[in-house]
Structures are given as structure tokens and as C-alpha cells.
A and B are shown apart, each in its own frame.
Chain A
Amino acid sequence: MSTVVGPARYVGASVHRVEDARVLTGHGRYVDDVSLPGMLHAAFLRSPYPHAKIERIDVEAARALEGVVGVWTGADLAAAGVYPMQIPEPAPPDYLRPVFPILATERVRMIGDPVALVVAESRYVAEDALQLIEVDYEPLAAVGSAEAGLAEGAPIVFEEIGTNLIHHDQAEYGDVDAAFAEADVVVRATWQQQRLTNTPMETRGGVADYDPGRDELTYYAATQGPQLVRMFVAGLIQHPVQQMRVLGPGDIGGSFGQKVGVTREEVAVCFASKALRRPVKWIEDRVENLTVGGQAREETAEAAFAVKKDGTILGLDVKLTMDHGAYPLLPISTAIFTTLIKVMLPSFLRTRNYRWASQTVVTNKAAYVPYRGPWAMETWVRESMLAKVARELGLPVEEVYRKNMIPLDEQPTTMATGPTLEGMTARDTLERALKLVDVPAFRAEQERLRGEGRYLGLGIGVFIEAAPGPPDFGEITGLGAPRDPARARLEPDGKVTVFTAQVPHGQGHETTLAQVAADELGVPFEHVRIVHSDTRDAPFTLIGTGGSRAATMGTGAALAASRALKGKILELGGQVLEAAPDDLELVDAVVRPKDAPDRGMPLAQLAQVAYFMPPEGMEGGLNANDAFPQPRGGWVAATHVCVVDVDVETGEVRIPRYLVVEDCGTMINPAIVDGQVRGGVAQGIGLALLEETVYDEDAQLLTSTFMDYVMPTAVEIPHIEIDHLESEPLAEVNSRGVGEGGAIGAPAAVANAISDALSPFGVAVDRLPASPARILELLGRA
């Protein structure tokens, strides 16, 4: 590298991903690739009943099988001092906190509830042993839906909390009664979003490695939050936190929220490794993943919008019911997600009048986990309601938006629920999208084709996302203010290592954070290495990577630490070159006087001074820490427009056009941004059209393989056009998160497009997925 490095040399360029060198050659290292000497393999016996009493468990035959090293039941774990789980304090107000064991003891509460753990010389033998365990169950009536869970005389899933209503909330902003009294029309509808599952291509798993000599437990985990896993697992198995290390194996095969918490299985596996004094690997199979890996959404909203005839929205009234499943996911109570839906629902709307109520109901299903944009229900409900308002008033939907959206020139202001809106460009993304799709031309074509019996539809989904949101967002939601730390270190050869608190699992942070650090430091991209996902040396945050925070917070932290390191480098350079640090610059890995660039010293040489001949009063080596506080602004805005072609004979939906206009501020690596947006849209299309975790009314699971749980392929997902707006920066770090947005906007845009297509039949999509069967049902042709 001899070219001159200036500012922003790498940021803004679609630099090749650092990760690809290994990922494309089969040299990635995922958790199932971790293989340790003497390693054993775990498998879990799981309940075939959604709700039952355990009368008797007999594991003797399993224990006796050759190759089996250990078998534990829930009672065995309790006897060994493993604590049960409970959502920790401080829990949100009105959130009840049932206590539940790592392995079921007296009762099973879902299909797939873990009942026993077998550890054997191979996974094959461990699974053989599962067949030899005898369990007598006394089946109990099960709760198959939130509605059933609230019915009088319903079976109670956790008897000690005495109710299935695990959480409820209500709130009122402005004067809702007055708004509804003033309305010309009240538009009402009920919207049902299905249960589905995150489905990363890599299932959950981990390898625990106990070192008896040092009493140290190392756990290789496919997790979004190693720090969280370390603290909770150590506590639950009574192992000293100080003697536990949790680290990513190197690569994680996706998560989308599924790997965000602390799982019962990983507690059991860490316990087993310590008990057996040998490494133990557990890799979830796909049937387990689809059964108990974590499920999401399944929310129903009854909504009423008070409107004037001209489309002005006066007030909102929304009542949400969430199906919680059986066991809470540690440490995240679902109340966080209902709270986010509550806070975000008014979004870009001008109205101040909003009434909210929510109820979260325990059922005999797998745990509710966050899934890419866990609050996305707010977008689907609001956007579906706006489209319905337009249909009922006979107005073009774009006019309803224009009437009600807060434009840039009315900001700063606040959302009805309180968060500061500043630099929020939802309206700009909408106008740009409308221009790009040419709505009048589409309407003419739609009209023409209807005459030929073809039904096209256009749907809009607009949303804003707190990625990371304004500084007051954390206080209003109770999530707390994010503050991301990072460290930067000058190595003895003059290269730079940046330690991030982010835990990438496909986002390419090893690339993007290196782009940011290289620009800030004035060194080649190849000189920067990003270290992550290890509790031994990564800076501490509880969350790790999640909530689309990395683009601002991870970036800001890497920038701040790099800047602090650069300050130290220039200070040392000043001493060595006998110049004032302010008169020096760091360009292309050379520290040099600004006015005499040829008199510089390569960073590699300066690093030698720092390590081996540090000047008096200077620590050896050069390290810098910094933490990055949440900046102003913080909103991502986007408009999705979907065009569908619905075959009213078969119920099939084709997507001839899909467009996203989004504003995530400065893009660090445009190809990575586009990949995040498209990946999110694909998941949103899957949600809108195909995917559904189906339980029958007795809480029996019907979708435990990829034959039944239908994932979108390259055939179902269309080409997705993306157009970027870049709003005026409000802060130095102007890159904002795009991880979740695609999945938030797409269900609304697709469903609204189908409803638009079906409008001649007077029906609309009010329940997802809009599968062919459901569309035919709507058309009365099922």
C-alpha cells in the first residue's frame, strides 16, 4: 500500500468482506465445527405432550447402554444444585414471574419440553439412549391459543402464578374520547399475525469444556450475547463467573433474534461438562429447532381509528393480545416487546390521541422470542389501518399518508408516546417511492388488467425504526440508554486491533468496523483486525448484537476508540519527532509533520518505540478505551412498495415489483446495507405469504420439519429494488441500523398489495400468512 489515505477512504465503499475469505472456502468455524479431545455429545429427551404431569421417569436402561456417559432428569439437576430459571428483577410492572426448571420435573408444558439429558460418546448413541428412557405422563388439558388461555375455567399453565395472563398494560395519551367523539367515521378492524419461527440456517448449539485443574468452564456458544450467557449460566449452575469464559466459535450461522437469550439446554450442557469433567457438545437438530428453538409474533390487534372525512386521523385505539407460549426466555420478558409495539405504533402520525391496552397470555407452546423487528406488529396494524381508512373513505391511500405524516419541517417534535422525532424522514421516503413507482401509471394498468380478469395490487408499508433511536427512547421504553464500549490497541508491528462489544452473526462487522477504524486512524484497511464475541477480552455489553444498534453504536464506539488511540499515537509521535501532536498527522500508517510529510515515521517503527522504549511517564504499548453514548436523531425511515399479481383461481401471489426507499444515513458499506435490507424483506415476504408455525387447538405442533414449515426460496423472493436517501446528519456518527427494517416493512406492503388487488371483491387480508388457501377462503372459493 503506497497510495495516500485520506478521510473516508473506506467508509462508503462496498469493500470486500473480510469474512468471505473463510466463509467461501469452507473454513468458517461454526459451533458444530468445534471439536475437542475427549468430547462427548448430548441429546435431550423431549415431551410428546403439550401439557402433562410426569408420573415416573426411568432412565436405568439408558444409563446401562454402552457408550452412554451420563443421564440426568430434572430431579437430578435439582439435587445437584442447579437452580431453576426465572425472569430476573427488575421485571416490568405487572409482569408475573413463574419459576421453571432447566429440565421438566413435575410437569411438561409444551411439545418438546426437555425431560432428560443424555451424554454419550457419540450423538448416535445419545439418541439411541433416548429411546430407552421410559416416562409415564398423565396428559392434562392444554391451552392452544391466547383466547383459550383467557377463557373461564381454562387450564392454568403455571399454577403458582394462578393465571395465564402473565402481563397486561394500558396507557392513554392525549384525549382519546374527545377524538372519537369528533370523528366523522370510526374505522375498525382486527389484525392477526401468525406464529412463526426465526429459522436461522444454523440451529442453536454449544460446546462446554470444563477444565478441572483450573476449575474453569469455557463455553463455545452460538449466541448474540456471550456476556449474558456467562453471567446467567454461571449463576444457575453455581460456578464462579470469574472462572467462566463464553466465546463465539468464530462464525455464527444467523440468528434473527433466536440466539439472543439464555437457553435451558445450554445450562444443562454446561452443567454436564462440569459434572463429567469432559467437553460436551450439543447441536440442536432442525426438528428441535422448529419445535422449541423459539417462536415469534402471534399477535392479534383490535384497532379503531377515529378519522375525518378528508382522511385526517384524530385518534387511535388499539388492543393487542400476544401469545406468550409457555416458558419465558431469559432474561427478556415479553413485556419489552408489547411495550415497543405500544410506543412505536403512532410512529410518524401527527395525532396525539392514542389509547393502548395489551394482554400477554401463557399457552402450551414454545417460547416467544424476539424475531427481526419484534415490534413489527405496530407497522402492520398502522399501515393496514391507513389502507383501510383510504378504502372506506374512498381516498387514494397516498392522500391519507400526506394528511397525517409529520414532515421534516415540523421537527423536532415528539411522537404521541413521547420519543423525540428529529431528522425523521418517513415522508421523504414515501414521496420518493411514489415517484419511482409512478402510481397513476400503475392505477391505469391495474384498471386495464382487471378488465382481462387479472388482479394486480399495490401496497405501501411505511415505518420508522429506533435504530438506535433518540437519547430519550430508552427511558420511555424502559430499555435504558445504550452505550457501546470499544478498545483499540496498537500492536508491536504497527497494526491495529479493535475490540468490539458487538457479536456479529452474519452482519459483516469485521469488515464495516475495520473500514471505520482504518479511516479514522489513517491506516490501510488490511492493517485493522476486529476482535469480538469473547467474554475474556471483548468490552462488556449485555445485549451484544441486537436491535439494529451496531451501525450507530458499534460504529461510534469503534470510531471513538480509534480516535483515542490516534491521539496517543500522535502524542508519542510528537515526542519522537520533536513536534507538537497537533502539528502531526497519521496518513497511510505514517506519522508525519503536516508541513513536512517526507519527515515522517512509519507506525510500525513508532510501535517499536511504544512497546520497547516508551518515553518516561508513558505506559508500554498503546491502548485506548472509549464508550460511545447515543447521539441525536437515531431514526431510520423507509417506505416499501409492493406490487402483486394475485391469481384469484388458485390464490397464488406473484410479486412483479418490490421497491424499498430507505434512509439509514451514511452507509459504511453499501453492499452490506443492501444485503441487510433485502434479507429482511425476504423474511417479511415469507411471513406475509408462506411461513406459519401451526398448533392445533390442543397445542399439538403440526410444523416440525421444512416439509411443513415452508421457507421462501429464490423462486418466491423477487428482485428487490433499493433506493437510498441520506438525510442531513444530526451527529457525527450518521450511520443507522438496517438489520430489522426490511422485515418490518414487508409484511405491511405485501398484505396491503393483496388487499388492493382483491378490493373489487370487497375483501382484505386481515390474517397472515396470506397463503393461497387463505386467499381462496377470503374469496369464498375454499
Chain B
Amino acid sequence: MNDVRLTVNGVERHAAVEPRRTLADFLRDDLGLTGTHVGCEHGVCGACTVLVDGEPARSCLMLAVQADGLHVRTIEGLADADGSLSPVQEAFRDEHGFQCGFCTPGFLMTVEAFLAENPDPSDLEIREALSGNLCRCTGYDSIVAGVKLAAERLRSGVGVPA
């Protein structure tokens, strides 16, 4: 067992974990943060994407011990404490972005990081940014629309909570 100290959604966490435990399993089973989903366990589908020190990372390919000392953000950390949705979540709701919702956490975390880096993306840039995440339900149009709407609102400040 190894000691791991990390910050998850702003809260300091401390645990003893087996070295082989994935970050995804640690978040889901040890911390009870089941919003992060595991879709392939080999780093292709992107459902398990979380932000590690602000950068998207596949939590199925990363070990919990590798996150020692780092800041992890998961889907549970997107909405405000009072439950109000983040601008990206709100935009996806307005555009009916998702259906079954299984891939959703990975897309949301990817988009969160993408819009921080590129606040005014073209359609092609959006599609390329999303190409590491698989969705089997939507055909992607509604997700692209959600990203565009979120970007617009974030740029203009309209529809974004103060």
C-alpha cells in the first residue's frame, strides 16, 4: 500500500492505495465519486477524462499513486456548491447535448479544458478537440452545438452566472 495525498475538487484527500489501483477506480470506489465513468479501460473512449492540474487526463490509464500531490477535478466539481450548473453544463442542457449520459463526464471535462485554452473555436476546431471522446448516442451535432453555445456565453458573459 502506498500513501497518496491529493486535492480532488478542492478538497484534500489522503488514502492508502495499492500501487496498481487506477485513478479511475480510486475516484469511483474509494472516494465514491462515481460521476467519472470507465468506458474502455484502454485509453481510447475518453469517458474517464478528468482534469489533473488543469489538463485532461485518462483516469483509466493513470494510477492513483501518480496523482500524489496533484489537483484533480471531476464532473462533480463543475457545478457550484448550491447546485447551479456551470456555463458548459447549462449550454449542454439547452442544446440537448447528450442522451444516455455515460460519455458525458468525459466530454464535459474535455470541453472545460478546451474552452479555457480556446475561447472562440471554429466548428472544425471543436470537432477536433472532441475527437478523443466517443459518444455512441448523439451523432455529435448536439455536443458541438453545446460547445459553441457555451463558448458564446462565456465570451459575452450573457447567461453566465456572476
Interface set of A (CB-CB < 8 Å, partner B): 14, 16-17, 19-20, 22-30, 32-33, 35, 124, 199-203, 251-254, 256, 285-287, 505-508, 671-672, 674-676, 678-683, 705-707, 711, 713-715, 717, 719-720, 742
Q: What 0/1 pattern do residues 64 to 91 of B give for CB contact below 8 A with A?
A: 0000000000111011000101000100
Q: List 26 A-B contacts (CB under 8 A).
A: A17-B93, A20-B92, A20-B96, A20-B98, A23-B104, A24-B98, A24-B101, A25-B83, A26-B33, A251-B101, A253-B103, A254-B99, A254-B100, A254-B102, A256-B136, A507-B99, A674-B96, A679-B137, A682-B138, A707-B44, A713-B133, A714-B135, A717-B140, A719-B141, A719-B144, A720-B139
A364 to chain B, nearest CB (A): 25
Q: A251 with B39: in contact, given A199-B136, A713-B134, A719-B141 (CB under 8 Å)? A: no
- B93 contacts A16, C-beta separation under 8 Å: yes
Q: Which of A26, A124, A200 counts the most B-chain CB atoms under 10 A from its CB? A: A26
Is A201's CB under 8 angstroms from B144's CB? no
In Å, the complex CA distance between A714 and B147 comes to 12
Given the contacts A25-B78, A28-B101, A679-B137, A124 and B42 also touching, CB distance less than 8 Å? no
Q: Considering the chains assembled together, what is the distance between the CA atoms of A711 and B100 in angstroms?
A: 17
Cβ of B36 within 8 Å of any chain A Cβ, yes or no, is yes
Interface of B is mostly: loop
**Complex CA–CA separation, A16 to B103 (angstroms):** 19
List 16 extra interface pairs beyond A24-B101, A202-B100, CB under 8 A.
A16-B94, A26-B75, A30-B102, A124-B18, A254-B99, A285-B41, A286-B41, A505-B100, A506-B99, A674-B142, A675-B137, A679-B139, A681-B139, A705-B44, A713-B130, A714-B144
B136 & A683 in contact (Cβ 8 Å cutoff): yes
Assuming the contacts A201-B103, A202-B39, A506-B101, asked whether A714 and B127 have C-beta atoms less than 8 A apart, the reply is yes
Cβ of B128 within 8 Å of any chain A Cβ, yes or no, is: yes
Bound CA–CA A288/B34 (angstroms): 22
What CA separation (Å) do A717 and B134 show in the bound complex? 11
Q: How far is the CA of A172 from the CA of B98 in the complex (A)?
A: 45
Binary per-residue interface labels of chain B (19-57) against chain A in the complex, 1 for a CB within 8 Å, 0 otherwise = 011000000110011111111111011010000000000
In the complex, A253 Cα to B105 Cα: how many Å? Answer: 12
Chain A interface, >50% SS class: loop
Residues from chain B with Cβ under 8 Å of A711 in the complex: 45, 134, 136
Please name all residues of chain B whose beta carbon is closer than 8 Å to the beta carbon of A505 when the two chains form the complex.
100
Residues of A contacting B21 in the complex (Cβ-Cβ under 8 angstroms): 124
Report A574 CB to chain B, min CB distance, Å: 41
CA distance A59 to B93 in the complex (A): 51
A24 touches B89 (CB 8 A): yes
Q: B78 contacts which chain A residues (CB < 8 A)?
A: 25-26
- What's the Cα separation between A30 and B34 when bound, in Å? 9
Name which residue of chain A comes closest to B100, CB basis.
A506
List, in ascending order, chain B residues with CB within 8 A of A19's CB.
Answer: 101
B39/A23 in contact, CB under 8 A: no
Give A217 to B92 CA distance when docked, in angstroms.
Answer: 38
A23 in contact with B101 given A32-B38, A124-B18, A707-B42 (CB within 8 Å) = yes
Q: A24 to chain B: which residues have CB within 8 Å? A: 85, 89, 92-93, 97-98, 101, 104, 108
B129 to chain A, nearest CB (A): 8
Say whether B131 contacts A714, CB under 8 Å: yes
